[in-house]
Amino acid sequence: MPEADLQNIALLIDADNTSPRGIDPVLTVMAELGQVNIKRAYGNFAKNNLQNWDKITHKYGIRPQQQFDLTAGKNATDMAMTIDAIDLLYQGKVDGFGIMSSDSDFTPLVTRLRQDGLIVYGFGSTKKTPAAFKSACTRFIDIDALIAGASDEPSPGKSKKKDEKQTIDEELVALLGTAWKAANRDEDGFASLGEVGLIAGNRSSFDVRNYGFKRLSDLFDAIDQFQMERRDDNQYYVRRLR
């Protein structure tokens, strides 16, 4: 199902494993998919470290799902989230999911949801989240990067400069280079930026926000290995230089 057609979205939050500070930017991202009509946070809210969720749940209309620690070493939160997600899947009323967690235990759940053609956005800490969970998601977005971006808005009309490349590594350049090579190119080697981004997204859980950028054009503009130009049709085109 194309992302533009999605309407009813569910956001399931592993409160034991994520920060309430990320709720606002996460909901902003989820608005790309449609209306986030289902918002649930799971955890043992009797714990001191989850007390900050109290005001957040009321502010954003999130329904807290209390899960007591019935047995040491067993995570009731994960089980409750998984059961609810599968229930929503079989009810057939949800078009897409957001999963806020850095826990690899949700990898099979994400894989199962995607097998039914649902879009699944994952939100967690890049440093803590295993690669398997990130790869399973349609998009995986670093919550820390979202929080930093929301608190450090650039001035209107300004974008990242080419010397701001501390988060751009060779793996990313290789991914974008492979996507450019697979795209349709003209005689000068230029490919549509939108097509390159679509191919990169289909090959991985790639998202520009993980690298501190809001638009794909800003990211390519910051990478010396690519040249980008805007044409008369008001669209961006890109080619690899080296």
Most confident of 68-77, 104-113, 172-181, 193-202: 104-113
Six-digit token string for 158: 């300004």
pLDDT digits (tens, 9 = 90+) for 103-143: 888 999 999 999 999 999 999 988 888 889 998 999 899 99
List Cβ neighbours of 207 (8 Å cut-off, separation of 6 or more). 139, 140, 141, 201
Report the mean per-residue pLDDT for the chain. 83
Comma-separated ranges of CATH 3.30.420.610 domains in the chain: 170-240
pLDDT digits (tens, 9 = 90+) for 39-89: 999 988 888 878 888 878 888 999 999 887 665 545 778 889 999 999 999
pTM assigned to the model = 0.74
Q: Is the pLDDT of residue 162 over 50?
A: no
Lowest mean pLDDT among 34-38, 63-67, 157-161: 157-161
| Most distant CA pair in the chain, distance | 65
Topology of 3-151 in CATH? Answer: Rossmann fold (3.40.50)
Comma-separated ranges of CATH 3.40.50.1010 domains in the chain: 3-151
The partner residues of 98 in beta bridges, in order of sequence, read: 11, 121
pLDDT digits (tens, 9 = 90+) for 132-143: 999 899 989 999
**Going by CATH, does the domain composed of 170-240 fall within 3.20.20.70?**
no
